[in-house]
């Protein structure tokens, strides 16, 4: 049993068991991915299960030394999926639930989920839905969320409400809920929806039902195993990657949010099964304060965490040149079977909480470049706090993924007034001073490529039985098909609060931590 989990994550069992819950390093909770009985066991009972299965501290430190072998480029993990090849036309799956945009963090909070509704309506107004398969994601079950997060944390999110939070002051502090991560109505359902979208996207990719899967509601990359962080409660990206690891020996995670993708990196810091690459602002006490180029992973995962720390004001030319050079070498060296791309839009010029000068064209150029590798691709949203620019960006990038050029004039739609006065899809570059000198960017690039040279070959794992999906339909299967295309999404309407779009003096908190 321990041997199987070690093969899945590429890490010794005793390392998985000794996870520090407060920091979320790696994934002791991920033992539930293969062993459902772990969900109901106490820590001593879990330790006993490990020891009885040969995963204790006996022998030479209890480590498992795996026999590795080379796999062909993008060969699927025990699935027989053929190597990637040029595709004549990509099959795109798009996940959206109208309820995801109706939650409300609070009038002074930068996170406005209504940006997702604005994005969806803009996608519809450009008729992009006619070129994709549109699905309503299932609401992730607690057992699915506990594949990464601790069961007690999931249970807490399940039961906490604004009316009862005064009864849980100790738990609120323990799980880091408060000003940045407030308790609001339908919090748990919100988490279930966006996490379910990323999980469903990964499963459709695993089963070769699509080539590209999009969940703009996902990408909440700061959440840790046992706590919320930076507006993120459940880390849907980690859950999606765990699904992909069932079929793929190697998963590449790329993050272009202005903030470091710390939650995803932390989850896979000790494994070579996932390579994380994050391009982000670093320094000046910028949240979350991690992501130095020297943070490269540890033990089995050493050199498999790549950080590209940037300074204020980076522009399209500098960013895309650096991005392409690094990602091209990463793909050549690591040979991933699938890519997960987090497209946080707070790296755009003019974002309320950002500090870069990227235009939508520059941001989307990264998406276009990743798409050209013709690998299975899971695309999510992330940060983004100037709502109309978030909608512009993710709609434009939906068009990029569909190989569809969009007119710059925004069509009539329910939220068109928020794109005044020019009603243009694109935004101009920013005017923040670019503090990223050519010598600095060259130094970062050189260091990253030097670390990549330390990877001798793409890691592989032995073939094994694929763990089952933890999906339990809550409807009569004779009456409803869970994979049925949901056309009613084109008519989804949202609940709009009078103060949802207010951007007055009291709704401009630039100091709050964010996605």
Q: Give the integer Cα–Cα distance in Å for 229 and 262.
A: 10
Q: What is the DSSP string of 397-459?
A: HHHHHTT-PPPSBPPP-TTGGGGTTT-BSS-----S-----HHHHHHHHHHHHHHHTT--S--
Tokens for 76, please give them.
């699927």
- Nearest CA to 78 out of 464, 376, 469, 467 is that of 464
3-class SS at 250?
A: coil
HSE-up of 447 (CA within 13 Å, CB side)? 16
259 carries a ligand binding annotation: yes
Longest dimension (CA), the chain: 70
Count CB atoms within 10 A of the CB of residue 77.
27
| Strands across the sheet containing 338-342 | 133-135, 92-95, 212-215, 377-380, 338-342, 251-255, 274-281, 305-310
257 carries a ligand binding annotation: yes
Q: Give the integer Cα–Cα distance in Å for 50 and 302.
A: 25
Q: Are 198 and 380 a contacting pair, CB within 8 Å?
A: yes
Check if 109 is active-site.
no
152 carries a ligand binding annotation: no
Tokens for 170, please give them.
């100790």
As to burial, measured by CB atoms within 10 angstroms (0-12 exposed, 13-18 middle, 19+ buried), residue 177 is buried
Which one is catalytic: 109, 121, 221, 222? 222
385 carries a ligand binding annotation: yes
Q: Give the integer Cα–Cα distance in Å for 104 and 222.
A: 19
- Nearest CA to 157 out of 111, 112, 189, 113 is that of 189
Q: Give the integer Cα–Cα distance in Å for 497 and 495.
A: 7
Query: What is the phi/psi pair of residue 179, to 5°?
Result: -65, -50
How does DSSP classify residue 179?
S
Q: Give the integer Cα–Cα distance in Å for 52 and 465.
A: 21
Angstrom distances, CA of residue 477 to CA of 155, 429, 473, 489: 27, 51, 8, 21
Q: Give the integer Cα–Cα distance in Å for 214 and 394.
A: 10
99 carries a ligand binding annotation: no
Q: Give the integer Cα–Cα distance in Å for 116 and 396.
A: 14
Count CB atoms within 10 A of the CB of residue 485.
12
- Nearest CA to 98 out of 390, 392, 495 is that of 495
- Binding site listing for substrate: 180, 230, 385
- Binding site listing for a divalent metal cation: 257, 259, 346
Question: Catalytic positions, please?
Answer: 222
């Amino acid at each position: 049993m321990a041997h199987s989990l070690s093969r899945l994550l590429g890490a010794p069992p005793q390392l998985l068991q000794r996870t520090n819950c407060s920091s979320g390093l790696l994934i002791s909770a991920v033992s539930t991915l293969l062993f459902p009985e772990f969900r109901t066991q106490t820590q001593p009972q879990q330790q006993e299960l490990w020891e009885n299965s040969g995963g204790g501290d006996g022998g030479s430190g209890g480590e498992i030394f795996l026999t590795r072998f080379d796999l062909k480029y993008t060969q699927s993990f025990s699935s027989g999926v053929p190597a990637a090849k040029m595709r004549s036309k990509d099959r795109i799956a798009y996940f959206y639930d109208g309820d995801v945009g109706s939650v409300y963090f609070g009038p002074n909070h930068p996170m406005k989920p209504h940006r997702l509704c604005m994005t969806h309506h803009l996608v519809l107004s450009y008729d992009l839905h006619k070129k994709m398969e549109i699905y309503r994601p299932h609401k992730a079950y607690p057992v699915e969320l506990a594949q990464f997060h601790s069961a007690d944390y999931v249970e807490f999110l399940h039961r906490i409400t604004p009316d009862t939070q005064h009864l849980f002051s100790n738990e609120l502090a323990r799980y880091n809920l408060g000003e940045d991560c407030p308790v609001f109505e339908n919090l748990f359902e919100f988490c279930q929806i966006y996490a379910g979208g990323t999980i469903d996207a990964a499963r459709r990719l695993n089963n070769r039902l699509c080539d590209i899967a999009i969940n703009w509601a996902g990408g909440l990359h700061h959440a840790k195993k046992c706590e919320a962080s930076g507006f993120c409660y459940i880390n849907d990206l980690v859950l999606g990657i765990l699904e992909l690891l069932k079929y793929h020996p190697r998963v590449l995670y790329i993050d272009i949010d202005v903030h470091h993708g710390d939650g995803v990196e932390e989850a896979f810091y000790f494994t070579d099964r996932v390579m994380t690459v994050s391009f982000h602002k670093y320094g000046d006490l910028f949240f979350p304060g991690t992501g130095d180029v020297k943070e490269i992973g540890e033990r089995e995962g050493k050199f498999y965490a790549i950080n590209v720390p940037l300074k204020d004001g980076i522009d399209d030319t500098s960013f895309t040149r650096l991005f392409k050079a690094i990602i091209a070498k990463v793909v050549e060296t690591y040979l991933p079977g699938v890519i997960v791309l987090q497209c946080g839009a707070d790296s755009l010029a003019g974002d309320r909480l950002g500090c870069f000068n990227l235009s939508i064209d520059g941001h989307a150029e990264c998406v276009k470049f990743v798409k050209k590798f013709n690998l299975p691709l899971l695309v999510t949203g992330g940060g983004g706090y100037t709502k109309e620019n978030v909608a512009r960006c993710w709609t434009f990038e939906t068009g990029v993924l569909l190989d569809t050029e969009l007119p710059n004039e925004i069509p009539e739609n329910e939220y068109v007034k928020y794109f005044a006065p020019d009603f243009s899809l694109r935004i101009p570059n920013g005017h923040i001073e670019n503090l990223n000198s050519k010598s600095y960017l060259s130094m970062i690039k050189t260091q990253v490529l030097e670390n990549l040279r330390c990877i001798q070959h793409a890691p592989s794992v032995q073939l094994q039985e694929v763990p089952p999906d933890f999906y339990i339909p809550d409807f009569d299967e004779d009456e409803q098909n869970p994979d049925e295309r949901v056309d009613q999404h084109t008519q989804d309407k949202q609940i709009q609060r009078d103060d949802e779009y207010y951007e007055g003096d009291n709704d401009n908190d630039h100091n709050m931590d964010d996605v």
